[in-house]
Amino acid sequence: MSDHDHSHAEDHTTPPPEIQLRIKAMESLLVEMGVIDPAMMDAVVDFYERQVGPRNGARIVARAWADPTFKARLLKDPKAAIAELAMPGISGDHLVMVENRPGVHNMIVCTLCSCYPWQTMGLPPIWFKSAAYRSRAVSHPRDVLAEFGVAVPPETAIKVWDSNADIRYMVLPERPAGTDHMTEADLADLVTRDSMIGTALPLAPAKAAP
């Protein structure tokens, strides 16, 4: 992450001191009033911080790459197929998988707020909520992809999915070349969060994290 990106993440999540104080005071007051349950809230935070995240999605994608019959089931009925993986607490409710294939590149956005497939990918990255992304993902997808370092040839159609209602989208990226020998677990390491948003391609085998 560059310093530029780091300052963006901080700017967009660090309110001025008086607001930070207000957040803490609100929390204390509501606990005192007995309207929120700290133990329940801690459990939810723990779930999204430690148990759910893009690695869940990566497992789903790797299984689809490794097993064509699973992939067919996943595209047809994501909820049932994801249940086969028995990931605790994870359901594919209202999830739709959109498949990248030669000639078609998919990308997801929520132009109105920040709708995102929490169950399979965790909480959305800050940039996904940003005006810079939400404004141009629909009108200038090729420019946005270029800024993310993804060159899409003119003959490839870009399909942008605006998650403006209850359906949540996840991109099934194309399996990279040169991965025939790899195990499902190793394949999962090639699947980045951004490749399931559609703003990146999966890692090439040599560049995968060890």
> Which residues, numbered 147-206, are part of the site for another protein (CB under 8 A)?
147-148, 154-167, 192-194
Long-range pairs of 152-157 with CB within 8 A, sequence gap ≥ 24: 152/105, 155/103, 156/102, 156/103, 156/104, 156/105, 157/103, 157/104, 157/105
**Of 72 and 113, CB closest to another protein:** 113
Q: How far apart are CA 86 and CA 184, in angstroms?
A: 16
Kindly report the backbone phi and psi dihedral angles of residue 45, in degrees, each rounded to the nearest multiple of 5, phi listed first. -60, -45
Q: How far is the CB of 180 from another protein (least distance, A)?
A: 26
Binds another protein by CB under 8 A, chosen from 73, 75, 99, 111:
111
* Segment interacting with another protein (CB under 8 A) among 46-54, 62-70, 72-80, 179-187: 46-54
Structure tokens at 159: 């399909």
As to burial, measured by CB atoms within 10 angstroms (0-12 exposed, 13-18 middle, 19+ buried), residue 21 is exposed
Stretch that binds another protein, among 74-82, 126-134, 171-179, 182-190 (CB under 8 A): 126-134
Nearer to another protein among residue 155 and residue 180 (C-beta): 155
Active site residues: 110, 113-115
Q: Is 153 exposed, middle or buried (0-12, 13-18, 19+ CB in 10 A)?
A: exposed
- Binding of another protein by 83 (CB under 8 A): no
Nearest distance from C-beta of residue 155 to another protein, angstroms: 7
User: Least distance (Å) from another protein to the CB of residue 37?
Assistant: 6
The window from 70-78, 81-89, 107-115, 177-185 that contacts another protein (CB under 8 A) reads 107-115
